[in-house]
Amino acid sequence: MDDQSKAVEILREYQLFRRREDTQPHMSYAHEKERHRVISEGRVDEIEQVMAIPPDGTMGILSKDELRNAKNMFISAITLFTRSAMDGGLPEETAYAMSDSYIQNGEACTSVREIDHLYQKAVREFTCAVAEKGKKHYSTVTENVIHFIHIHLHEKITLESAAQKAGISPCHLSRTFKKETGMSFVDYIQKERVEAARHMLIYSEYTISEISEYLHFSTESYFIRIFRKYMETTPARYRKYYREQERW
């Protein structure tokens, strides 16, 4: 065993010893799972009830500095919330944008109380984001195509490429997709790109032009037109409105 592995083992045994001596068991996995279940199922109606459940143990110790420890625990929690939200159907780009924003804001906090407030906000916001998405049940083919669209929003997506991935003809895919989703293949991609753009406007500092280019809109003016079609406002006004609301 090398020195580094030995040091890790010694620290692990010491932490277990301290917890036994202080009769302070680590918070159980079951307790954590309740919050992740609420997020992955988008159960907005259960948020307050689950948040009110007292912890059945102590949090981990990831740093001797109290504030740094709180930030490290917060990063761990946000990572799990992000995975739970994606399990609940939230697109990867949206979930990762939210994750990056929360972690960056967490790093800017100057007290444990601020971290705790941000943590509670994150639980609510990830849950609401999943609920808004409203995970629906489609056929395996359509589910696979939707997943294909979500992970390629920043690339050129064609009916032919999606059909090839699904192993069916473009005509069959076009008919099946519209029948199940109620939208044409092209309209669905537009809607999902606008949804991704909406979250990038909220949770990132990318410019309108950068978001347009990243999400593969042909031009910035076309992006603005499509965004207005679905959101009834421009990207710039949407970002401004959200940030004004945040200040209140």
127-148 confidence digits (pLDDT tens) = 998 998 765 678 889 988 988 9
78-109 confidence digits (pLDDT tens) = 999 999 998 888 877 788 888 988 998 899 89
CA of 112: how far to CAs of 54, 104, 106, in Å?
Answer: 18, 15, 10
144-189 confidence digits (pLDDT tens) = 898 899 888 889 999 999 999 999 999 999 999 999 999 999 999 9
20-72 confidence digits (pLDDT tens) = 444 445 455 666 778 888 999 899 999 888 888 776 556 667 778 889 989 99
pLDDT at 245: 72
Which of 181, 124, 166, 135 lies closest to 41 in space, CA to CA? 135
The larger pLDDT score, comparing residue 221 to residue 205, is at 221
**Could you tell me if 185 and 178 are in contact, meaning their C-beta atoms sit under 8 angstroms apart?**
yes
Which of 154, 200, 157, 194 lies closest to 177 in space, CA to CA? 157
pLDDT at 143: 86
Q: How far apart are CA 118 and CA 111, in angstroms?
A: 11
pLDDT at 19: 47
User: What is the rounded end-to-end Cα distance, in angstroms, of the chain?
Assistant: 55
**Could you tell me if 93 and 197 are in contact, meaning their C-beta atoms sit under 8 angstroms apart?**
no
**Could you tell me if 153 and 93 are in contact, meaning their C-beta atoms sit under 8 angstroms apart?**
yes
CA of 36: how far to CAs of 50, 98, 120, 199, in Å?
Answer: 10, 16, 13, 21
Please give the structure tokens belonging to residue 17.
């010893």
Q: Phi first, then psi: what are they for 31, rounded to 5°?
A: -65, -45
pLDDT at 134: 63
